[in-house]
Structure 1
């Protein structure tokens, strides 16, 4: 590859001084060229040597540890930290943009309060006083929703809500929320972990383990290390999904399965395993076997999934013949899949005898509670935000006087978006704790800017998908670029003024207490010579390390601790019966497509990622839905033609892209488009697919889910 003109000029004038002292000189040179784009909001990289500072990213759920490249204290590039066990040098297509996003035009630059149709800047003193006034007046009529289930910040928010006398603390809908509920439903304690590195065969049902599910950067690194080019293959991955997406493209085999039928497929596999003699000595096996035989016969599973009995039997055979099989089930787009798919996947692991065994699933302990009065994780999981907002919208439940949105954008990311926005509008006083002017901030009554992770202290405990306990703490790499204050510090100060004693004066003290409490588990600092997946299989026990010592050295602290799993029962793993899609007026199944380069539920398309969007994904203000040629022909459309995709609740407009990697009768539609806030890089790019995601009641659970939403071409 030749050196670009800007990179060459930068090298000549000294803009990349110090490059050759780093192990990645030419990539850093390229970063310097990127930073010299003519966007006025990006500062120029100063002359000087490069320095690496450890941090972490929370722009998606991968939990990656990163190294931030700084020049004279200014971040200018971000790379995966090779010493961090959830990164191993890898990084997501969102996290790589974090240095640029510090200066994004969509950043909230100061506190804002609503006056009529406008948000006007105010001081932090006035903002805190207004927040305290509204919270005092609300009393117990307060609720909060958090987009972060790994950090202690949510503990502070839940403790405040509880101190006010409310039980209304919610997580935003996400894969890890459904998984947590499914684990508890089966009688699990703590949280479930997946030891991907030590598996020799991984069956991913719905769950896109390389893009949207769990610790996806770590998963991809594990797959890469187990499949060296020209070397012996140590892990095989089979992916069952409705779309031949990026994850399916790199898997050893792709199995097309209809959206929303993930639980039926998993239980159909269980049927064949049981017929072959598989059994379990754990609680509930007889009830599980009876439910599987009656509700998930090969014929019923074929109607639900589109797979023949022979195809399902082949998957069962692959699992049974593997030495260390692992099943991961969930939603193909990271949310809305409900509990049943996860529960069925967990049941397969139990049936295969993979509990607390290398390459299987583990029962991991939850984080210790240190904030006085904070709600237990299981209590927050019991609260369903989508169900709550639907009832608020239908006036079946009163809207709260105050709703605190922490690192969450419910105005954009919830299903049936338009109805949810109407429900949010009923809230008496909406407060957005956000780094960006997202859709929720744009409609809020008070916007309190939160520093990005690089600008604040932040912690992360065992993201969903981890195979072992891990704890990472990030300290500020740079002072806040704008007038932003950490949300937890704001709330701790306001709580104190209102007479709520949460036990701490600062978030830093909370993190210190969390680290001290974690010491009781026993663990070590992860690194190149202390890799937790090797320790899991007896690869040597590293010297024990205190949590504070590890995190102060910029390391992730890891523990092999587990909790008692004897209460796990198969009795509630199989509910209802396999059934074909409803059809009727809405004959097509919608398959939302999650691709990180166009954003997540937390962040819109980063400016530098716009160039990664293909013309068959978005162009000239339109975005594209995908269907195969047979489906397109059946409904009278074709390549490039404009269509209206309608559900029971709303409709979106798009153009058609013909893709033979989409199943018959399926419309694949990418998430991440249709933003009405943020900046010019995210706006005017198609429509928001969440508008046509239709919430239904999950069979046997009576909880909201929206995988397998039915649509039509109007």
Structure 2
């Protein structure tokens, strides 16, 4: 009979015997091989699986960085930097996700048509095109309505010309780009008498003073800016470029700067007025028309007054003025913390400071870059396209001051999520029919009658024409590296086909023809562009018209801004923090980039409101308290966190959360801080601005 001792000996001996035999290990090896050959595991089914690389430019990321796409067996698998390109030198946190975003859960797979109950049903492309053609034909015949109105989220492509030309030839001519610092800069440039478009030669400057412009994170050609900043600072050597940054939050640009000037939100204008006044006082004033009027405008902005209203330390104000004076190639760039809504006032003062420093059309300075001729019949030039104010148009529509719309076309834009206020709803309500050309089923697509899946930048021909802020004339071709997934189609080809059937002569037969015409107008070689090379020219427009153009309206602008800054009371100023890694309104947060979200931005899916210790004490709250931040426009819920990199009486909020579309990787994450923003009209320019948001903070 087998007793307990014998049983344990038997079991132990069996175990030792099992471990000693090779049968177990051989069996495990066979199982592992078998498990890797299950038929449902994806694998490459064709080709020799060799690595190939295609040079292109990212259209997903507004920074327009040059990339190299690695393909294995003809399939894109990874986004890399293209160090050979003048738009390269790195890859942004958004552009690097472009391959993955082809398979995003939010990717629109096929055309959708809204039902009478508000839901959507899938339809074929044939049905979608037939319906759109009918709606466009009917709209074209209308006389009391604006036949076609176009909204575009493309910041630098010839697609804008196609949309504008289409709108012009159907009767309305209403084209609107989404609000951005590019728009404010273009309008400021025109007000100053600038010709062409303005560029900022950051890579060749030896002292960059960025006011509000988050040049190392979101503003302009970020990839180029970062690369230039890194190349100018070799380890163990004296930096060839110094960077000073003025802003209310110690963001990535402030952290990388040699000098951070912590100023209250919305006070950029006063800092610039003070810098201009001090330079003129010190005899740094290159002559140009209107200099006396400009000197009178800035006369009262002494260092003491500037520091009082901005909260800046006097020694840092003196340091930046001294840095600009001593530099051989100084440059001032101006933007807003939101990359939108900042107005023309601060930008114009920044341009005037560059003029004082005699930095117009100089290496490392502010350059007058010629405009590329339009390639589409009926399309206006870039400077004209940038005059459209979508926020003001929406407000006028809400007030009944605009004609109703036949067909509203939205291209790669998400105004329902991104715009301040709720007036954009009136544009949709007063449109007989609305259509979205989009890669993702976003908030705006969910508001449209017809939703058409657009091919991603990696799946279509497109271009990057003179990206915002770049200091030279530059043109690059975006090439498809793969066929469109699902039933996506390039929106440009769809629109050109619609135009042909409507009898509209756009002068192009397809997108490739359009881009070839653009390259021809510029003088770029199509073959070279097709190889991934970027066309660059040092040509500039002769400076014959630029002047210190300031009028009594500008004094009103300054006085109103000063009064608003002085009447804040117990409210806190809001500093908005924008990061490319958290996506754009058109992409939302890419799935892989959720790991970039820090506890200073989101705490268990609750928005974080960052304040410094002094402000927290003033509020009578404790770190971790849940609070309600309320403005005249709306309110958001947040959790308080202490961060000493925020100026006094300021609360920092991160943008990019609060999406109600895009699926699981964005659902329930924080709140949309644009709910706090109220737009107003800037005196003088009339441009819609929203750079001075204030909130009351109360414990929830």
Q: CA deviation at 1:217?
A: 1.0
Task: Indicate the residue corresponding to 2:662 in structure 1.
Answer: 678
Task: Indicate the residue corresponding to 1:548 in structure 2.
Answer: 526
Residue 331 (str. 1) matches residue 332 (str. 2): no
Residue 79 (str. 1) matches residue 80 (str. 2): yes
Give SS of 2:299's match: helix
1:619·1:685 contact (CA, 8 Å) conserved in 2?
no
* Cα deviation digits, residues 114-143 of structure 1 (max 9, x gap): 112111111112111111211222224321
2:135·2:433 contact (CA, 8 Å) conserved in 1?
yes
Q: Distance in 2 between matches of 1:505 and 1:285?
A: 50
Q: Distance in 2 between matches of 1:211 and 1:702?
A: 29
Task: Indicate the residue corresponding to 1:529 in structure 2.
Answer: none
* Cα deviation digits, residues 489-547 of structure 1 (max 9, x gap): 1111111111111111101100011111111xxxxxxxxxxxxxxxxxxxxxxxxxx42
Within 5 Å, which residues of 2 pair with 1:442-461? 442-461=446-465
Between 1:98-107 and 1:280-289, the stretch displaced more is 280-289
Residue 95 (str. 1) matches residue 95 (str. 2): yes
Residue 354 (str. 1) matches residue 359 (str. 2): yes
Give SS of 2:405's match: coil
User: TM-score, normalized by length of structure 1?
Assistant: 0.88
Q: CA deviation at 1:679?
A: 1.4
User: Which blocks of at least 5 consecutive residues in structure 2 are unaligned?
Assistant: 1-28, 141-145
User: TM-score, normalized by length of structure 2?
Assistant: 0.89
Residue 248 (str. 1) matches residue 254 (str. 2): yes
Q: CA deviation at 1:152?
A: 1.0
Give SS of 1:187's match: coil
Distance 1:584 1:370, change over 3 A: closer
Residue 470 (str. 1) matches residue 478 (str. 2): no
Residue 165 (str. 1) matches residue 143 (str. 2): no
1:430·1:445 contact (CA, 8 Å) conserved in 2?
yes
Distance 1:420 1:303, change over 3 A: farther
Q: Distance in 2 between matches of 1:551 and 1:214?
A: 22
Q: Distance in 2 between matches of 1:614 and 1:278?
A: 44
Task: Indicate the residue corresponding to 1:631 in structure 2.
Answer: 615
Q: Distance in 2 between matches of 1:700 and 1:312?
A: 28
Residue 595 (str. 1) matches residue 576 (str. 2): no
Task: Indicate the residue corresponding to 1:124 in structure 2.
Answer: 125
Match of 1:572 among 533, 550, 562: 550
Give SS of 2:344's match: helix
2:97·2:590 contact (CA, 8 Å) conserved in 1?
yes
Between 1:576-585 and 1:340-349, the stretch displaced more is 576-585
Task: Indicate the residue corresponding to 2:639 in structure 1.
Answer: 655
Task: Indicate the residue corresponding to 2:14 in structure 1.
Answer: none
Task: Indicate the residue corresponding to 2:240 in structure 1.
Answer: 234
2:334·2:350 contact (CA, 8 Å) conserved in 1?
yes
> Who wins on radius of gyration, i.e. which is larger?
2
Q: Distance in 2 between matches of 1:309 and 1:469?
A: 39
2:440·2:586 contact (CA, 8 Å) conserved in 1?
no
1:629·1:638 contact (CA, 8 Å) conserved in 2?
no
Within 5 Å, which residues of 2 pair with 1:385-464? 385-416=390-421, 418-421=422-425, 423-464=427-468
2:193·2:549 contact (CA, 8 Å) conserved in 1?
no
2:191·2:549 contact (CA, 8 Å) conserved in 1?
no
* Cα deviation digits, residues 132-173 of structure 1 (max 9, x gap): 211222224321111113111111110000001112101100
Match of 2:651 among 630, 651, 667: 667
Task: Indicate the residue corresponding to 2:6 in structure 1.
Answer: none
Residue 285 (str. 1) matches residue 291 (str. 2): yes
Distance 1:311 1:450, change over 3 A: same
Q: CA deviation at 1:301?
A: 2.5
Q: CA deviation at 1:422?
A: 5.0
Q: Distance in 1 between matches of 2:212 and 2:599?
A: 27
Distance 1:297 1:45, change over 3 A: farther
Give SS of 1:439's match: coil
Q: Distance in 2 between matches of 1:657 and 1:637?
A: 10
Task: Indicate the residue corresponding to 1:107 in structure 2.
Answer: 107
Q: Distance in 1 between matches of 2:181 and 2:124?
A: 38
1:586·1:710 contact (CA, 8 Å) conserved in 2?
no
Q: Distance in 2 between matches of 1:314 and 1:157?
A: 47
Q: Distance in 2 between matches of 1:262 and 1:401?
A: 41
1:59·1:95 contact (CA, 8 Å) conserved in 2?
yes
Kindly report the root-mean-square deviation, in angstroms, between the aligned alpha carbons of the 2 structures.
2.1
Give SS of 2:558's match: coil
Q: CA deviation at 1:650?
A: 0.8
Give SS of 1:577's match: helix
Q: Distance in 1 between matches of 2:635 and 2:486?
A: 38
Q: CA deviation at 1:398?
A: 3.6
Q: Distance in 2 between matches of 1:428 and 1:589?
A: 40
Task: Indicate the residue corresponding to 2:16 in structure 1.
Answer: none
Within 5 Å, which residues of 2 pair with 1:251-262? 251-262=257-268
Task: Indicate the residue corresponding to 1:377 in structure 2.
Answer: 382
Q: Distance in 1 between matches of 2:622 and 2:75?
A: 49
Residue 136 (str. 1) matches residue 137 (str. 2): yes
Q: CA deviation at 1:442?
A: 1.2
Between 1:175-184 and 1:370-379, the stretch displaced more is 370-379
1:461·1:472 contact (CA, 8 Å) conserved in 2?
yes
1:460·1:472 contact (CA, 8 Å) conserved in 2?
yes
Q: CA deviation at 1:647?
A: 1.0
1:262·1:330 contact (CA, 8 Å) conserved in 2?
no
Q: CA deviation at 1:683?
A: 1.5
Q: Distance in 2 between matches of 1:395 and 1:194?
A: 40
Q: Distance in 2 between matches of 1:511 and 1:158?
A: 16
Q: CA deviation at 1:428?
A: 2.6
Match of 2:222 among 216, 220, 224: 216
Q: Distance in 1 between matches of 2:348 and 2:487?
A: 45
Q: Distance in 2 between matches of 1:371 and 1:187?
A: 26
1:695·1:704 contact (CA, 8 Å) conserved in 2?
yes
Task: Indicate the residue corresponding to 1:365 in structure 2.
Answer: 370
Q: Distance in 2 between matches of 1:311 and 1:325?
A: 17
Give SS of 2:610's match: strand
Task: Indicate the residue corresponding to 2:5 in structure 1.
Answer: none
How many residue pairs are counted as aligned between the two chains?
650
Give SS of 1:589's match: strand
Distance 1:481 1:621, change over 3 A: same
Q: Distance in 2 between matches of 1:582 and 1:163?
A: 49
Give SS of 1:401's match: strand
Between 1:192-201 and 1:569-578, the stretch displaced more is 569-578
User: Which blocks of at least 5 consecutive residues in structure 1 are unaligned?
Assistant: 1-8, 16-35, 520-545
2:56·2:67 contact (CA, 8 Å) conserved in 1?
yes
Between 1:669-678 and 1:51-60, the stretch displaced more is 51-60
Q: Distance in 1 between matches of 2:327 and 2:605?
A: 48
Q: Distance in 2 between matches of 1:614 and 1:332?
A: 19
Residue 49 (str. 1) matches residue 50 (str. 2): yes
2:465·2:475 contact (CA, 8 Å) conserved in 1?
yes
